[in-house]
């Protein structure tokens, strides 16, 4: 495959940013801007409107209006990766154009996830139609592979086909398969061409970087950004494996709970803002007992979120 090296100003680590909601269920752009600014000061980018953002509990209009507010609030658009994938091609095109109009050229795009047992030809046709309808050479798509949720597996041959057809547009992937052999196979096959592979879990961060991956876009970057960014910047140093173990310890605590509700519990606690506890149905807040247990476990490892 022809080598196409892609220039990117995206950091090695991005948070799939959790979304604060108002009492009426609408996204609170002001609180989200503050959270994104805190993440930025801790050295990580912002992959907004992803799984952990509860993006599929928001309308396309809500997401587009919120992105406008974030950009108008001064966020660095080179460090923002909006999620624009939807089951509808038109919705995907509209959200992608909106991102580009706000100078966010890198987007993360889910495959169409409603129908199951779809073919590579069908997936190729979806992405191809989106790219052609958007019609903007600046667009850089990171495909979002999350088969535990979508029940869609993105084959290596499909990725190769997309890159061959759109070498300057399909530039990377976030792999949340949780399947390290798959992640490694994508890195080995496609990273030498310039394709940027982000692991979807910081538990794979050192392995991904050593294999030639770009970094990670991972849930608990929301709560532990500085330590994860530090490891990404210093993965060649002698203490990298111990730092990885330390990150895994934090993640293991949150993985005992529904992750989004758990992270919101931590943010609500450390920011002293209980509004952060809100999630959108069908998700539910942690019970008071769960909240107390989570915070106690974090205290036991001296976890903190300074500057929040």
Q: Exposed (0-12), middle (13-18) or buried (19+): which is 297, by Cβ within 10 Å? A: middle
Residues identified as active-site: 144, 174
DSSP per residue over 177-241, as a string? Answer: S--HHHHHHHHHHHGGGT-EEEESSGGGHHHHHHHT--EEE-GGGGT-HHHHHHHHHSTTSTTHH
Q: How far apart are CA 137 and CA 147, in angstroms?
A: 29
Query: Does 217 carry a binding-site annotation?
Result: yes
Dihedral, CA of residue 242, residue 238, residue 12 and residue 279, to nearest 10: 10
Residue 74 and residue 29 in contact, taking contact as beta carbons nearer than 8 Å: no
Q: Is 288 exposed, middle or buried (0-12, 13-18, 19+ CB in 10 A)?
A: exposed
Q: What are phi and psi of 232, to 5 degrees?
A: -60, -35
Binding residues for pyruvate: 217
Binding residues: 217
């Amino acid at each position: 495959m022809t080598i196409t090296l892609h220039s990117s100003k995206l950091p090695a680590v991005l948070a799939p940013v959790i979304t604060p909601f108002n009492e009426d269920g609408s996204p609170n752009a002001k609180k989200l801007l503050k959270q994104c600014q805190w993440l930025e000061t801790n050295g990580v980018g912002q992959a907004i409107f992803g799984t952990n953002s509860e993006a599929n509990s928001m309308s396309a209009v809500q997401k587009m209006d919120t992105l406008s507010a974030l950009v108008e609030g001064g966020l660095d658009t080179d460090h923002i990766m909006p999620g624009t994938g939807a089951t509808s091609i038109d919705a995907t095109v509209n959200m992608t154009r909106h991102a580009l109009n706000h100078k966010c050229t890198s987007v993360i795009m889910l495959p169409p996830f409603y129908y199951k047992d779809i073919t590579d030809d069908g997936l190729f046709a979806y992405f191809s139609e989106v790219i052609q309808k958007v019609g903007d050479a600046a667009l850089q798509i990171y495909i979002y592979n999350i088969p535990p949720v979508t029940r869609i597996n993105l084959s290596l041959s499909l990725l190769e086909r997309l890159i061959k057809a759109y070498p300057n547009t399909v530039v990377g992937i976030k792999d949340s398969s949780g399947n390290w052999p798959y992640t490694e196979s994508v890195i080995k096959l496609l990273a030498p061409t310039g394709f940027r592979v982000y692991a979807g879990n910081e538990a794979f961060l050192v392995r991904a970087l050593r294999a030639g991956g770009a970094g990670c876009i991972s849930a608990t970057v929301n709560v532990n950004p500085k330590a994860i960014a530090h490891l990404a910047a210093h993965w060649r140093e002698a203490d990298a494996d111990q730092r990885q173990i330390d990150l895994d310890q934090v993640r293991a605590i949150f993985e005992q709970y529904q992750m989004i509700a758990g992270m919101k519990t931590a943010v609500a606690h450390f920011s002293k803002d209980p509004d952060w506890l809100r999630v959108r149905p069908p998700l539910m807040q942690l019970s008071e007992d769960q909240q107390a247990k989570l915070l106690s476990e974090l205290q036991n490892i001296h976890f903190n979120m300074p500057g929040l």
